[in-house]
């Protein structure tokens, strides 16, 4: 295979990166096969946003939200709400479209109003009170939009073990690997790791130690409530606060008889995360996420409060309770977990790219096309090709794992042929 490969180190303007991280680019250019039965696996190290920092990274607490850009339209997600029962509320995202066609989260700056009597508004959340249809007027950045709401039923169903209780145990960490979800459990009590086996968990909760975790006569004396709230000694300390939503859910389940539920009926089949794309312009910008669970009976539920979020790069973005906050220019991925179902959302923090202009660069193959498309999207410039002396060292290490011998280096540098031609020849020789 004829191949021209370079890997260059490029340091960005330190004003763009408070801790002056090092940014590394890789550029791999392929030619023709030369009729040889060889395959080269070229790893493209395109990580202009991933680096390391000598100084502490910024945090969401010491960043000020930047001013909002000019908005030309509103986008509501979901575009409509439907309630199947009255147990859970539904969240709404309000996104503002900028002149550049990007979106910023306006939810916190939005006014929600309704004249309907069958729903109640609590900030950006809608709560069903009775069956019927309704409409919510959403106003932000000088624009207004209508959100249709359909309430099929506002009746509050009984608490279900798989659909309601297992998510609570996961959210507060009871079935985590550091707690009762570990291989041997904790203090003689074991749950399945992250709730992967609801039937096992139900049996452990209800039948272990002769069922003494539940007091159906005096619900508030149940160990299932007293342990996590810290009313009795608990190595995990207070995992659930008395009177909280999680506490009331557990208490209601016990009061209703602590009944089991078929896993296939209660477990979500997939989750949907909104918005579809996350791209923030400047550090300090925030974006709320919504997590919608889909079930086998074609119903949906907003499970954002019970989902678990984490960021792959906490130097670039932090995430808490489903809200992502940009810390500095870069890329990261947000992992969303809900009851054994995982989703990821890639996010980009562009930073101030004023004055950026793409420089026309030679495209030698289809890999270059993808690399350059990514660089243009993140508004970064490719590095220049490395020198012949740099190339021979790098390609020898890449293909043989050893530095080149001195006589090979001298011969390569003394070769007066075109640089691309002699690099192709060197690659063939090393292979």
CB 61 within 8 A of CB 32: no
Q: What is the DSSP letter of 242?
A: T
The residue ranking higher by pLDDT, 51 or 73, is: 73
CB 294 within 8 A of CB 270: yes
The whole-number pLDDT of residue 126 equals: 96
pLDDT above 70 (res 123): yes
- Residue 212: Cβ-neighbour burial (10 angstroms; 0-12, 13-18, 19+): exposed
Question: With bands split at pLDDT 50, 70 and 90, how would you rate the model's confidence at 174?
Answer: confident
The whole-number pLDDT of residue 355 equals: 86
- Per-residue pLDDT tens digits for 181-203: 888 887 778 889 988 898 888 88
Question: With bands split at pLDDT 50, 70 and 90, how would you rate the model's confidence at 58?
Answer: low
- Per-residue pLDDT tens digits for 80-120: 999 999 988 999 999 999 988 889 999 999 999 999 999 99
Count of CA atoms in the C-beta half-sphere (13 A) of 313: 22
CB 290 within 8 A of CB 93: yes
Q: Determine if residue 142 is left, alpha or beta; phi over 0 gives left, psi from -120 to 50 gives alpha, anything else beta.
A: left
Q: What percent of the chain has pLDDT over 90?
A: 52
CB 399 within 8 A of CB 431: yes
| Structure-token match 């989750």, residue found | 271
Q: How far apart are CA 67 and CA 73, in angstroms?
A: 17
Q: How far apart are the first and last CA of the chain?
A: 9
pTM: 0.75
User: Average pLDDT over the chain, rounded to whole?
Assistant: 83
132-140 and 143-151: which strand pairing? antiparallel
Q: How far apart are CA 137 and CA 375, in angstroms?
A: 40
pLDDT above 90 (res 288): yes
Question: With bands split at pLDDT 50, 70 and 90, how would you rate the model's confidence at 304?
Answer: very high
pLDDT above 80 (res 18): no
341-349 and 278-280: which strand pairing? parallel
- Per-residue pLDDT tens digits for 246-260: 999 999 999 999 899
């Amino acid at each position: 295979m004829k191949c021209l490969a370079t890997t260059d180190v490029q340091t960005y303007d330190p004003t763009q990166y408070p801790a002056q991280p090092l940014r590394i680019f890789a550029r791999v250019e392929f030619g023709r096969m030369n009729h040889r039965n060889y395959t080269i696996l070229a790893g493209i190290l395109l990580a202009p946003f991933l680096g390391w920092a000598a100084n502490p990274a910024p945090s969401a607490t010491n960043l000020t939200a930047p001013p909002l850009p000019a908005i030309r339209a509103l986008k509501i997600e979901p575009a409509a709400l439907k309630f199947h029962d009255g147990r859970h509320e539904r969240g709404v995202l309000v996104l503002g479209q900028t002149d550049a066609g990007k979106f910023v989260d306006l939810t916190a700056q939005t006014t929600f109003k309704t004249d309907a009597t069958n729903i109640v508004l609590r900030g950006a959340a809608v709560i069903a009170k009775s069956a019927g249809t309704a409409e919510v007027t959403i106003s932000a950045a000088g624009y207004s939009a209508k959100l249709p709401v359909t309430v099929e039923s506002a009746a509050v169903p009984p608490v279900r073990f798989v659909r309601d209780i297992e998510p609570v145990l996961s959210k507060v960490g009871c079935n985590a690997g550091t707690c009762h979800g570990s291989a041997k459990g904790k203090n003689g009590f074991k749950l399945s790791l992250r709730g992967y086996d609801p039937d096992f968990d139900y049996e452990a909760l209800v039948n272990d130690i002769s069922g003494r975790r539940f007091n159906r006569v005096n619900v508030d004396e149940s160990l299932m409530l007293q342990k996590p709230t810290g009313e009795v000694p608990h190595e995990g300390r207070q995992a659930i606060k008395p009177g909280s939503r999680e506490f009331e859910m557990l208490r209601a389940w016990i009061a209703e008889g602590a009944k089991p539920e078929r896993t296939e009926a209660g477990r979500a089949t997939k989750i949907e995360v909104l918005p579809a794309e996350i791209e923030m312009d400047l550090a300090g910008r925030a974006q709320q996420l919504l997590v919608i669970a889909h079930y086998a009976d074609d119903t949906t539920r907003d499970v954002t409060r019970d989902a678990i979020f984490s960021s792959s790069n906490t130097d670039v973005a932090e995430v808490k309770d489903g809200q992502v906050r940009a810390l500095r220019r870069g890329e990261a991925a947000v992992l969303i977990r809900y009851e054994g179902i995982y989703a990821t959302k890639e996010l980009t923090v562009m930073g101030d790219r004023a004055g950026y202009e793409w420089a026309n660069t030679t495209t030698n193959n289809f890999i270059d096309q993808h690399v350059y498309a990514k660089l243009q999207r993140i508004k970064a410039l490719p590095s220049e090709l490395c020198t012949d002396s740099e190339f021979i060292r790098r390609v020898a290490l890449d293909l043989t794992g050893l530095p080149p011998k001195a006589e090979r280096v001298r011969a390569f540098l003394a070769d007066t042929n075109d640089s691309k031609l002699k690099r192709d020849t060197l690659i063939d020789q090393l292979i």
